[in-house]
Structure 1
């Protein structure tokens, strides 16, 4: 097969790797608009399960990823200055550029043709291909070109966030909630290598407006955020890398493929960073799509139909949880009055898929602390945010 892939993020690269692994004779060309060394973004984070499933699909790649991970075994929620540890939560992080470089190396080793600094202007450039894969992200040109068939919807959520780094090394995946005269802020912080942590600052629209970020320079925004999280940064600065305030875009598509064109990764659907890495879902898309071709060979229509049929149910479940998580953050100021342990419990229940007993099995120490505060007989409930 001749395969054309738009987009050199994790989804496109991993699919290319898996298809070459499946059949070395496949001719695969991947176009990426950025350079091979573009350092947009900081680190990505995975749950323990999200890394382990890579071992079955690409053992050598899994080995190289695993040897470069920063690993920690708890989530810490800091509210009212009090840290609450959630045990049983194993996560790992890696630099985004390091992850991409490992993927580049494995793809080249398998014979994938990688073309960087090449912007796709028309999918017709792949007209001689048996399969065209749109893995070109939130602003996918492939999706735009065939929008009448994919029927996409793009929803701009109200919260604002900005992606920084910091030399402050966090020893756990940390959610840090802080209030000031302008409103409520949360930082999503995690270490992804031996020198740097990712530090995502998020706030609701009212807080963003009152703080005056719209009229601030990049330096002024960064300085303001450093002051909000002064106690948490321990004297370390925030680092900017083309960091700007943005809104999360919820991408959905009614149809996943058209003729021999298919979408994967963020081009297909976005998953809010509060429930885990979009990189995880990108890998899962690539695995499912490659698995469909392993099942159906070069029957493109049958493979694409199987990809959607197999992948969509689990993806839809994740999206339902993601929507509830987004709503929780958009309404977090309504919960700031809660005791830190009650606040952390509400956070853990926000997706509506976990009850107290399942959380007890996963995080027995946290539930013991919660019941010491609230009492074991207190009626269980999901998050107060609907």
Structure 2
């Protein structure tokens, strides 16, 4: 059986590893246009359960990655320089490049080395295969090739954001909101290593235009962001790595597979970065697809519908919450005049997946302070 996986991000690498581990005789090819050690962005964040979804079926990968993760149990919101602690809202993070290197090592342990720096412009270049997997991200060639067959949709939100890094290690995942004379800004920042943090700067379209970011040189834009978030950075600088301004792409597909072709990860659907589930969703897609193949004796025609049927309800629930969260961020400037604890409650309930009573069980100290502020 020959399987070709286009894309060597977390979804593609982990799927290749799972298939080759289970079926050593399979011919598994992974093709990636970028070099092995190239990555854009800084750290990736997971929910408080981090990689628990790997522990049962893949303890080796769990044991390889978990020690490298930074973990914390609370979250912090900063509004008008007032800090609100959200107890029990924990996350874990790891450097994106470090994660990719560890997944590459896991894949090498079963005898597969991706073909890096191979740019593919047509699927015909990949030769014959029994299964071809599009794990090639937002700009997926597999999805674009069969756009109508997949029922593909791609749209963009309005807010602008850029991924930076910094040498300041933050104690928790923190959301810092700023209302300034040139516009309204938000920073999502969290440490992913002992002396490194991700620092995502976001603003609404009106602020982006008013401040002149569209025509501003990259170094000037970075310096202006440092000025807006000077208190949060505490003397540290922002670090650029392809830190261009972009709008979040919303990818969806009515159908997940077509013939021998199937999509996973961001090629299949995107989940807004504000919920910290993108990498986990990608790796869980890989797990679900490998399980479907195993359950149907690697009969692709039977396995792909089974994969979609089992995975779709889970994904749609998470993506629905992510879309609601994204909609809140699209209007975050409207909430900036709220009192800090009312603002925090609006933030915590933005996805519609948690109410006051559930929050009371998860974050009792915050709820007590919130109710005190309301009284």
> Same fold judged by TM-score > 0.5?
yes
Q: Which residue of 1 aligns with 2:109?
A: 109
Q: Which residue of 1 aligns with 2:248?
A: 248
Report the count of equivalent residues. Answer: 375
Q: Which residue of 2 aligns with 1:258?
A: 258
Distance 1:330 1:113 in 2: 41
SS of match in other structure, 1:88: strand
Please tell me whether the aligned partners of residues 48 and 91 of structure 1 are also in contact (alpha carbons under 8 angstroms): yes
1:57 Cα shift? 3.0
1:358 Cα shift? 0.5
Please tell me whether the aligned partners of residues 126 and 132 of structure 1 are also in contact (alpha carbons under 8 angstroms): no
1:124 Cα shift? 2.0
SS of match in other structure, 2:51: helix
Distance 1:55 1:25 in 2: 25
SS of match in other structure, 1:158: coil
Q: Which residue of 2 aligns with 1:380?
A: none
1:111 Cα shift? 1.4
Please tell me whether the aligned partners of residues 44 and 277 of structure 1 are also in contact (alpha carbons under 8 angstroms): no
Distance 1:302 1:326 in 2: 35
1:26 Cα shift? 1.2
Where does structure 1 differ by over 4 angstroms across 4 or more consecutive aligned residues?
none
Q: Which residue of 2 aligns with 1:379?
A: none
Please tell me whether the aligned partners of residues 321 and 351 of structure 1 are also in contact (alpha carbons under 8 angstroms): yes
Distance 2:180 2:199 in 1: 19
Alignment of 1:22-171 (within 5 A): 22-171=22-171
SS of match in other structure, 1:313: helix
Distance 2:39 2:299 in 1: 38
Q: Which residue of 1 aligns with 2:12?
A: 12
TM-score, with structure 1 as normaliser:
0.95
1:125 Cα shift? 3.1
Q: Which moved more, 1:341-350 or 1:20-29?
A: 20-29
Distance 1:309 1:2 in 2: 24
Distance 1:91 1:327 in 2: 22
1:318 Cα shift? 1.0
Please tell me whether the aligned partners of residues 161 and 247 of structure 1 are also in contact (alpha carbons under 8 angstroms): yes
| CA 50–169 in structure 1, closer or farther in 2 if over 3 Å, else same | closer
Please tell me whether the aligned partners of residues 18 and 57 of structure 1 are also in contact (alpha carbons under 8 angstroms): no
1:264 Cα shift? 0.3
Distance 1:104 1:278 in 2: 19
**1:5-47 deviation digits (Å, cap 9, x = unpaired):** 0000000001111111211111100000111111321010111
Structure 1, gaps ≥5 residues long: 376-386
Q: Which residue of 1 aligns with 2:237?
A: 237
Alignment of 1:338-349 (within 5 A): 338-349=338-349
Please tell me whether the aligned partners of residues 191 and 197 of structure 2 are also in contact (alpha carbons under 8 angstroms): yes
| CA 50–305 in structure 1, closer or farther in 2 if over 3 Å, else same | farther
**Does residue 215 in structure 1 map to residue 195 in structure 2?**
no
Please tell me whether the aligned partners of residues 57 and 287 of structure 1 are also in contact (alpha carbons under 8 angstroms): no
Q: Which residue of 2 aligns with 1:181?
A: 181
1:229 Cα shift? 0.2
Q: Which moved more, 1:245-254 or 1:107-116?
A: 107-116
**Does residue 205 in structure 1 map to residue 234 in structure 2?**
no
Q: Which residue of 2 aligns with 1:281?
A: 281
Distance 1:69 1:320 in 2: 27
1:2 Cα shift? 1.0
